[in-house]
């Protein structure tokens, strides 16, 4: 399974805001040509607001994460930009949503949960990422990782990782925010 966050809704809203901005701008020009300047000014202000909305959506699309999270039978593969991280399930020691900056200073009842999933490997390495960037609910992603780490039968239902080409050829599971389940 490969998870990637879908940006279809943002594209749809961007195109709708762009169409509204063009229509309002055309209406502004038509009213200005007829001589109704106050009406043209009011419509022009609405066109400026629509253009600001388009600019905001365009900035959001430009900053959209290009990452993919691949869950395979023997490993977890996290691809973000040019960085690819592979972690075998048997190497995963912990997966936690606890705030890592407070681990050394706080006692057990004072741990704060975040939306960032921190995974520590048996080799001492660790990595963290935001599951929401891939369209996954953080608690469900943590539970899935811990289940796959501990349950070999659940992992058998997943595809086998062959190469980096798997990340390009396998179908994506996209959505705004989903709960991954086996």
Domain edges within the chain = 7-62, 68-175
Vertex 88, ends 87 and 90: CA angle to 5°? 130
Closest C-alpha to 119, from 99, 97, 90? 97
**Tens of each residue's pLDDT in the chain, 182 residues:** 455 555 667 788 889 999 999 999 999 999 999 989 999 999 999 999 999 999 998 888 777 666 777 888 888 888 776 777 888 888 888 888 887 665 555 555 567 778 888 888 998 888 888 888 777 888 888 888 888 888 888 888 887 776 655 555 555 555 555 566 65
**Continuous segment of H or E residues that includes residue 54:** helix 37-62
Report how far residue 138's alpha carbon sits from residue 121's, in angstroms, rounded to the nearest whole number.
19
Q: How many CB atoms lie within 10 A of CB 94?
A: 15
Q: Is the pTM of this model over 0.75?
A: no
Query: How high is the pLDDT of residue 49?
Result: 94
What single-letter DSSP state applies at residue 178?
B
The CATH number given to 68-175 is 2.30.29.30
Report how far residue 111's alpha carbon sits from residue 143's, in angstroms, rounded to the nearest whole number.
18
Report how far residue 21's alpha carbon sits from residue 172's, in angstroms, rounded to the nearest whole number.
33
Dihedral of alpha carbons 113, 138, 101, 146, sign = positive
Q: Is 86 strand, coil or helix?
A: strand
């Amino acid at each position: 399974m490969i998870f990637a966050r879908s940006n279809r809704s943002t594209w749809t809203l961007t195109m709708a805001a762009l169409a509204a901005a063009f229509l309002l701008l055309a209406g502004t020009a038509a009213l200005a040509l007829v001589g109704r300047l106050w009406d043209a000014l009011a419509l022009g202000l609405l066109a400026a607001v629509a253009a600001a909305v388009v600019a905001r959506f365009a900035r959001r699309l430009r900053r959209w994460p290009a990452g993919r999270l691949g869950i395979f039978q023997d490993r977890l593969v996290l691809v973000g930009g040019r960085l690819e991280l592979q972690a075998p399930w048997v190497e995963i020691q912990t997966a936690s949503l606890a705030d890592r900056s407070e681990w050394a200073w706080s006692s057990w009842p004072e741990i704060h949960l975040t939306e960032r999933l921190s995974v520590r490997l048996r080799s001492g390495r660790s990595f963290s990422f935001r599951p929401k960037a891939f369209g996954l609910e953080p608690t469900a992603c943590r539970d899935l990782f811990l289940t796959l780490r501990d349950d070999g039968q659940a992992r058998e239902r997943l595809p086998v990782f062959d190469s980096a080409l798997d990340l390009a050829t396998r179908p994506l599971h996209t959505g705004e925010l989903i709960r991954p389940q086996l």
